[in-house]
Amino acid sequence: MHKRKKATEGEKVLAAIYAIQLELRRAQAGFQDETDEALIDSYIYEIISLHKKYEYYLRRAKELGLAAAGCAKIS
């Protein structure tokens, strides 16, 4: 039986940052391709919301002194 390693808070924060980056790319692509006014508004709200989440997780990463692979420490 293998014990699964529990993710640290730092690993969770970095995973959230990467996931939000992907969601932002998807939402921005949808926004660029959309022509319906209601859906454009929906993408705008989604992008704003994702930016707020992204800012939160970047602050947490900085507080924890984290750095992503191949990147400098977040300061």
Residue 2 lies in a domain: no
User: How many domains does the structure of the chain reveal?
Assistant: 1
CB under 8 Å to 73, separation ≥6 — which residues?
65, 66, 67
Query: What are the tens digits of pLDDT across the range 3-58?
Result: 566 779 999 999 999 999 999 999 999 999 999 999 999 999 999 999 999 999 99
Residue 74 lies in a domain: no
Residue 34 lies in a domain: yes
Virtual torsion, Cα 11, 15, 18, 22, nearest 10 deg: 180
CB under 8 Å to 37, separation ≥6 — which residues?
none
- Could you tell me the residue range of the domain that residue 54 belongs to? 9-64
Exposure b/e, 12-37, CB count within 10 A at least 16 = b: ebbebbeebeebbeebeeebeeeeee
Query: What are the tens digits of pLDDT across the range 51-71?
Result: 999 999 999 999 999 876 655
